[in-house]
Structure 1
Amino acid sequence: MTVIAIRELAKQFGDQVVLSGINLDLAQGDVKVLMGSSGSGKSTLLRCLNRLVEPTSGSIQFQSKEILGPNVDVRQLRKQIGFVFQQFALYSHLTVLENVTLALRKLEGIGLKQANEKALHELAQFDMVPHQSKYPSQLSGGQKQRVAIARALAMDPAVLLLDEPTSALDPVMSRDVGELINRLHHNGITMICVTHDLGLASTISDRVLFLDKGIIRADERLDVLASNHSDPELQAFFGKRE
């Protein structure tokens, strides 16, 4: 079943064309990886999907319903399309548990006891219950990422968007996050992941969507992009590997 269908999506900031003619389908249970150089439009595309950025034109259907337009409940949409930000976006003055329960209490109107139970269930998946009373400043980068993902999953989203989830992490933590994303995939979570990390990309998906100057230039196996693709720009980006 198609969860998200993007057709001819475009975005301009003034005279700058950031996305042009994007067409993409995301099926339930899929993991899609978006790669491309800085400024290629990857993060903008993610942000269009839950209306953090308003597209200039085109169509986005979520669960067969158009989500672009003035009558869409954007707050409700964002509960169903979760977002994990590049720099975690945790509230520094709140504990781990409070960070995860905040949206449950404020947006869902869930009582404190039930919100805590839901949050602890999600944190337990990532071995973060022992850290529930800590503040973000007391956590490692990998732990912060786990909390950010747990917070997004606590809202039971239909789709999870991850924007450069390993950019602030060292190689060991990056591998841990890759294993975590694979675990979510095996649990049936539908995801789109933007990354510059070839190691992460190869860990979580066989295929990669390559964005270049706002256009999807390739949807191909990573090994083909890295060594056998005929486009010299793609070969230059991915590099030939033995």
Structure 2
Amino acid sequence: MALMEVRDLVKEFDGQTVLSNIHLDLHDGDVRVLMGASGSGKSTLLRCLNRLVEPTSGSILFRGKEVLGPSVDVRELRKQIGFVFQQFALYSHLNVLENVTLGLRKLHGMTPAEAKEKALLELSNFDMTMHQQKYPSQLSGGQKQRVAIARALAMDPAVLVLDEPTSALDPVMSRDVADLINRLHEDGITMICVTHDLHLARNIADKVMFLDQGVIRADDRIEVLSQHSDPQIQAFFQKEQVF
């Protein structure tokens, strides 16, 4: 059984269909990559998975249980689906350590001492312990990304969701993020990643889902998609960088 099963997912905004009949399976240990042109619905799909955006219709099963509907504890769901936002979403008035401990205290009910111990463990995994007292404005883009991922993983989620993890980074930092994602994959972390970065996609996954105008039109290896019979899909994956 898949860890997460998405079936017939539809999202409409003001009568406009943004996602149409999305089907997606995510298994333990998977790294799934979702690509598509701007406005194709990629980030909306990610936000539907943990109900940051409410789907219009369809089904999302998480560990065999439906997570859509008024009786579902959304806070509990979000503990299981860690989200790393495109612009990191770190609190500017909190230092690195405080950014990571906040959710542990508020959502997991840890004491300050317990939260600090857990946060420092995660930060050490990303070589960020020495920066624990710095504020986001004092960090580079790559350091912010590491803090955002550490914060998400500190909650011990079943799935890590990454929305454009290299969009604000230079090529060197982007390679570092690819290495980091591969390290997490080796550790068995289940991930789904939206990216415009074809180099990142090649480095972290064998297969890519292609989303176009709210529809998943292909799900295959990049080498296959770059020779796809549909000229639009072929052109997309023959580009060195996709925006």
Aligned length in residues = 240
Deviations 1:152-199 (A, max 9, x none): 000000001000000000000000000000000000000000000001
Which residue is 1:233 aligned to? 232
Alpha carbons of structure 1 residues 12 and 123: separation in structure 2 relative to 1, 3 Å: same
Q: Which amino acid aligns with 2:141?
A: G
Which residue is 1:141 aligned to? 141
Identity among equivalent pairs (%): 75
Q: TM-score, normalised by structure 2?
A: 0.97
Which residue is 1:197 aligned to? 197
CA distance in 2, matches of 1:205, 1:38: 21
Q: 1:25 aligns to what SS in structure 2?
A: strand
Q: 2:3 aligns to what SS in structure 1?
A: strand
Alpha carbons of structure 1 residues 74 and 196: separation in structure 2 relative to 1, 3 Å: same
Which residue is 1:49 aligned to? 49
Q: Which amino acid aligns with 2:29?
A: G
Deviations 1:55-79 (A, max 9, x none): 0000000010000000000011001
Q: Which amino acid aligns with 2:58?
A: G
Unaligned runs of 5+ in 1: none
Which residue is 1:11 aligned to? 11
CA RMSD, Structure 1 to Structure 2 (Å):
0.9
Alpha carbons of structure 1 residues 239 and 109: separation in structure 2 relative to 1, 3 Å: same
CA distance in 2, matches of 1:45, 1:195: 13
Which residue is 1:162 aligned to? 162
- 1:127: how far off? 0.3
Which residue is 1:73 aligned to? 73
CA distance in 2, matches of 1:201, 1:40: 17
Matched, 1:85 2:91: no
Q: Which amino acid aligns with 2:145?
A: Q
- 1:240: how far off? 6.4
Deviations 1:85-117 (A, max 9, x none): 000000011110000000001111101111001
Matched, 1:179 2:179: yes
CA distance in 2, matches of 1:184, 1:217: 28
